[in-house]
Amino acid sequence: MSTPLVVSGAVASLAMAGAGGWLVYTSATDRRLRQGARPPRRHGANRVRDLLRVAPLRIRPKSGIGPVSAGRVVPTEVLAAVIVVAVAGGILAWILFGGVLPALFAAGFAGTFPVAGYRRRQQSRLDSALEEWPRILEEIRLRTGSLGRSIPQSLFEAGGRAPDQWRPVFEAAEREWLLTVDFARTVAIIKEGLADATADAVCETLLMAHDIGGTDLDAKLADLIEDRTTDVQNRRDAASRLAGVRFARRFVLLVPLGMAVAGLTIGSGRQSYESPTGQLAVVAALASVAACWWWSGRLMRFPSAARVFR
């Protein structure tokens, strides 16, 4: 059997092994997120959260009630996925280019994929939850207007049907209200727990209506509902338009990889990669691919609303 065929088979095997490991990791992580896994007790967990830039919805009410968390990070799973994918990427680069430097660079680049994938899934879960704001606001409007309920009661009843990752926050806020009957401290818990510009606006609107009173709460909630509905629709339209761009972005990785495999069958093949000049050229090419991948990801990132009432 010729050398190019052997190398091609090894590359295909590593690619399938890496894809299988990635699928196992994503399945395990999503399952732990849905079940509300117990947070680790190591200090490294905070560093991982900072690295992933995930808002874990961790709050500690001022009344002394214990912290409420949702969407926790599982550092061991993330670290294991980073190691597996980085090793697979390094071995693949070593098989293709026969050098330590390209293998190390490829391992470092590949190790960022699990972190980016986790952040993307968390952002997707957050975006799905944010789409529920128009419904929650409409329910609050209905209860305070047609049903004549109080503002705190309407807020807690609507929060009971909020997305799963938000319910612990509303439950902690309701306990705070029952203990202190202080609506300002109650909405502060919701603002801290949800950490969202829409939550800030809703809480400030309800707080002002509760403290000052008046008959214009229905109109203010109607304006908020219209604004949130428009924002959700705009984000959906932007996501559909970016679908083709996200698909094309993957060719930033697939096309250079295919060209590298094809280069093994031309001329001296791997011997050209193993020369000092070839090693420098390979590292430069990998660096350009990583830079294009990172920059394209920044261009496709949706802007987040500023928290004015933080």
Q: Report the pLDDT value the prediction gives residue 183, as an integer from 0 to 100.
A: 92
* Least confident residue range of 24-28, 73-77, 256-260: 24-28
pLDDT band, very low/low/confident/very high, at 197 (cuts 50, 70, 90):
confident
Interval 289-295 mean pLDDT: 84
Q: Does this model's pTM top 0.75? A: no
Domain boundaries of the chain, sorted by first residue: 3-128+276-299, 130-233
User: Which range scores top for mean pLDDT: 125-129, 241-245, 292-296?
Assistant: 292-296
Q: Report the pLDDT value the prediction gives residue 28, as an integer from 0 to 100.
A: 47
- The percentage of the chain sitting over the pLDDT mark of 70, rounded to a whole number, equals 72
pLDDT at 69 over 50: no
Q: Which residue has the higher pLDDT, 261 or 79?
A: 79
* Least confident residue range of 46-50, 129-133, 202-206, 208-212: 46-50
pLDDT band, very low/low/confident/very high, at 182 (cuts 50, 70, 90):
very high
Q: Report the pLDDT value the prediction gives residue 53, as an integer from 0 to 100.
A: 44
Which two three-digit tokens encode residue 302? 């949706």
CA atoms of 193 and 58, how far apart (whole Å) = 6
CA atoms of 251 and 257, how far apart (whole Å) = 9
Interval 54-79 mean pLDDT: 49
Interval 288-297 mean pLDDT: 84
Beta bridge partners of 59: 68
pLDDT at 31 over 50: no
Interval 84-102 mean pLDDT: 86
Average pLDDT of the chain is: 75
Which two three-digit tokens encode residue 114? 């699990």
- The percentage of the chain sitting over the pLDDT mark of 90, rounded to a whole number, equals 12
pLDDT at 228 over 60: yes
